[in-house]
């Protein structure tokens, strides 16, 4: 596990890229997330975000490939060495050096770049890691038995659709599907009327494993590259009709949206947290448990949901915060447990595979990660400052997720944001 901080996390570090030193910046020198971009329709390149700039890694002479999956598959020690070299070369101490001059020429303003998906996503598994979300949703459909008996024993997940994952900023088309009213004799084919978002994190696999070989929990984080923000758009009315007996299908596979920057496990080291179960809950089975996972297997990441309607945009109103939570309050399973469980049967992971966390809802009413919960399935519409209401998303709505990590003694780092606008 990437447990310890090192010189790259030093709070006193400053960069010769001035924008990286601005208070509250998502991408200070202590972060250094990876992504893919292109300029003016050119070829895709691998870059690292630093302030409001992108360092083109190949142009800077740091790598000899534009294949992000190959970089992600490198051994953790090799990735850590690259992070150390980036930190040293971007630090203020490098001002005036030949390296600083060369790297200055390899900078691209983020405002001039088209961001792409971070890598090729071969497979995507969506988990269900928030016990609060599972309970809230269960209460709507099974008030007498909201949490199914396997939830606290098994990291529940399903295989999602990788081909419809897009990058932040792409429009989200309202899906068609079968809808059936409770009192109707038959379903109809119609546009979704209960379109929702899901506040999630996306964990990326680095090194894979051979088929038939499981990954022990103590080695699980060696197979994780990093994390991005993830919105798994959901058609709740289509979902309600189709999900039994095999689970989500057309209600989920029409679109999911990722933020463009992947924050590495190395960058998250200062923001680790203990993993604990509430008193009285069963402890995980041995293959999902370890002293290290209990001591620091969780990560403290603050997550926020913002909504801007078409009318708000026309009137010049800023987006409104719908909810905010922290992963230590929301997640019932750690990323290492997801890897260990996913592979315990011998399933082979590959570089670039994506694990969705599932909707991350905290215990408070203002910590819900979906409108299904916030508006109680439409029974209590969310009141917006301009007088509008929302039970579910409407055409023209722009939904944005943001995330960041901060604690005393460490420099705040951000995950950036992921947004999408609903179109009919």
Tell me: do 293 and 379 sit in the same domain.
yes
Residue 171 lies in a domain: yes
To the question of pTM greater than 0.85 for the whole model, the response is yes
pLDDT of 315-367, one tens digit each? 999 999 999 999 999 999 999 999 999 999 999 999 999 999 999 999 999 99
Residue 2 within any structural domain of the chain: no
Per-residue model confidence (pLDDT) at position 203: 98
Of 132-146, 277-291, 319-333, least confident by mean pLDDT is: 132-146
Q: Using CA atoms, how far apart are residues 229 and 402, in angstroms rounded to an integer?
A: 7
Q: Are residues 200 and 330 in the same domain?
A: yes
In this predicted structure, the answer to whether residue 410 has a pLDDT above a threshold of 60 is: yes
Quote the CA–CA distance of 21 and 281 in Å, as a whole number.
Answer: 44
* Per-residue tokens: 69: 């999956």
Helix/strand/coil for 70 = helix
Name 14's bridge partners: none
Q: What is the dihedral of CA 140, 146, 152, 153, to 10 degrees?
A: -100
* Binding-site annotation, residues for substrate: 128, 142, 239, 243, 359
| Residues tagged in the binding site annotation for Mg(2+) | 232, 252, 256
Q: What is the pLDDT of residue 304?
A: 98
pLDDT at position 306: 98
Tokens 């971007």 appear where?
A: 90
- What's the pLDDT at 315? 97
Instruction: State the catalytic residues.
Output: 133
Examine the pLDDT at 411 and tell me if it is beyond 90. Answer: yes
Q: What percent of the chain has pLDDT over 90?
A: 96
Q: Tell me, yes or no, whether 318 and 183 share the same domain.
A: yes
pLDDT of residue 218 exceeding 90, the answer is: yes
Q: Domain check: are 206 and 296 in the same one?
A: yes
153 shares its domain with 109: no
Q: Please, what is the average pLDDT of the chain?
A: 96
The structural domain count of the chain equals 2
**End position of a domain, from candidates 61, 84, 116:** 116
The mean pLDDT value for 157-186 works out to 97
* Contacts with 219 (C-beta within 8 Å, 6 or more apart), sequence order: none
Are residues 147 and 87 part of one domain?
no
Which helix (H) or strand (E) covers residue 229, if one does? strand 224-231
Q: 84, 100, 116: which is the final residue of a domain?
A: 116
pLDDT at 348: 98
User: Please, what is the Cα angle at 124 between 135 and 238, to 5 degrees?
Assistant: 55
Give yes or no for residue 265 having a pLDDT over 90.
yes
Mean pLDDT over residues 37-57, rounded?
Answer: 96
Per-residue confidence band for 2, with pLDDT thresholds at 50, 70 and 90: low
Rg (CA), the chain: 21
> Measuring CA to CA, which residue among 101, 16, 97 is closest to residue 59?
101
- In this structure, the chain runs to a length of 424
Q: Is residue 92 part of a domain?
A: yes
> What does the block give as tokens for 411?
């420099």
275 is written with which tokens?
């993993």
Parent domain of 343: 124-423
Angle (deg, nearest 10), helices 76-90 and 98-105: 100
My answer on whether 206 and 96 are in the same domain is no
Is the per-residue pLDDT at 42 higher than 80?
Answer: yes
| Alpha-carbon separation of residue 108 from 36, 57, 262 (angstroms) | 12, 11, 18
Please state the residue numbers annotated as binding site for Ca(2+). 126, 198, 200, 232
Q: What average pLDDT score do residues 86-115 get? A: 96
Judged against a pLDDT cut of 70, whether residue 1 lies above it is answered with no
Strands 45-50 and 34-38: antiparallel
pLDDT at 145: 84
**Which of 50, 84, 116 is the last residue before a domain boundary?**
116
């Amino acid at each position: 596990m990437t447990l310890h901080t090192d010189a790259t996390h030093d709070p006193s570090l400053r960069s010769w890229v001035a924008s990286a030193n601005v208070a509250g910046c998502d991408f200070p020198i202590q972060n250094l997330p990876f992504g893919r971009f292109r300029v003016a329709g050119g070829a895709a390149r691998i870059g690292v975000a630093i302030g409001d700039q992108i360092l083109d890694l190949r142009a800077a002479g740091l790598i000899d490939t534009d294949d992000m999956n190959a970089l992600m598959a490198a051994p953790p020690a090799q990735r850590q060495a690259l992070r150390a070299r980036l930190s040293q070369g971007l630090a203020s101490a490098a001002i005036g050096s030949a390296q600083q001059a060369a790297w200055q020429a390899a900078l691209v303003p983020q405002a001039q770049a088209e961001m792409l998906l971070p890598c090729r996503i071969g497979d995507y598994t969506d988990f269900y890691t928030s016990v609060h979300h599972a309970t809230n949703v269960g209460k709507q459909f099974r008030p007498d038995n909201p949490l199914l008996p396997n939830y606290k024993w098994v990291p529940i997940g399903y295989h999602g659709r990788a081909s419809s994952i897009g990058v932040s900023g792409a429009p989200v088309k309202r899906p068609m599907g079968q809808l059936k009213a409770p009192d109707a004799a038959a379903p109809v084919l119609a546009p979704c009327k209960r379109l929702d978002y899901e506040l999630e994190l996306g964990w990326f696999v680095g090194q894979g494993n051979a088929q038939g070989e499981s990954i022990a929990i103590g080695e699980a984080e060696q197979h994780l590259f990093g994390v991005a923000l993830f919105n798994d758009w959901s058609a709740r009315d289509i979902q309600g009709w189709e999900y039994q007996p095999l689970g989500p299908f057309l209600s989920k596979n029409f679109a999911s949206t990722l933020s463009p920057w992947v924050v590495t496990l190395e960058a998250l080291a200062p923001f680790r947290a203990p993993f604990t179960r509430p008193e009285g809950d069963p402890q995980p089975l041995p293959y999902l448990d370890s002293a290290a996972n209990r001591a620091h297997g969780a990560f403290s990441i603050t997550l926020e949901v913002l909504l801007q309607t078409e009318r708000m945009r026309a009137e010049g109103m800023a987006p409104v915060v719908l909810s905010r939570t922290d992963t230590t309050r929301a997640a019932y399973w750690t990323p290492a447990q997801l890897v260990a469980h996913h592979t315990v049967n011998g399933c082979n992971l590959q570089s670039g595979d994506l694990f969705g966390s599932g909707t991350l809802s905290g215990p408070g009413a203002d910590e819900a990660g979906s409108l299904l919960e916030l508006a109680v399935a439409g029974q209590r519409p969310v009141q917006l400052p301009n007088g509008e209401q929302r039970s579910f998303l409407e055409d023209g709505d722009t939904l944005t997720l943001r995330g960041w990590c901060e604690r005393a003694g460490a420099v705040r780092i951000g995950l950036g944001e992921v947004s999408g606008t609903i179109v009919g």
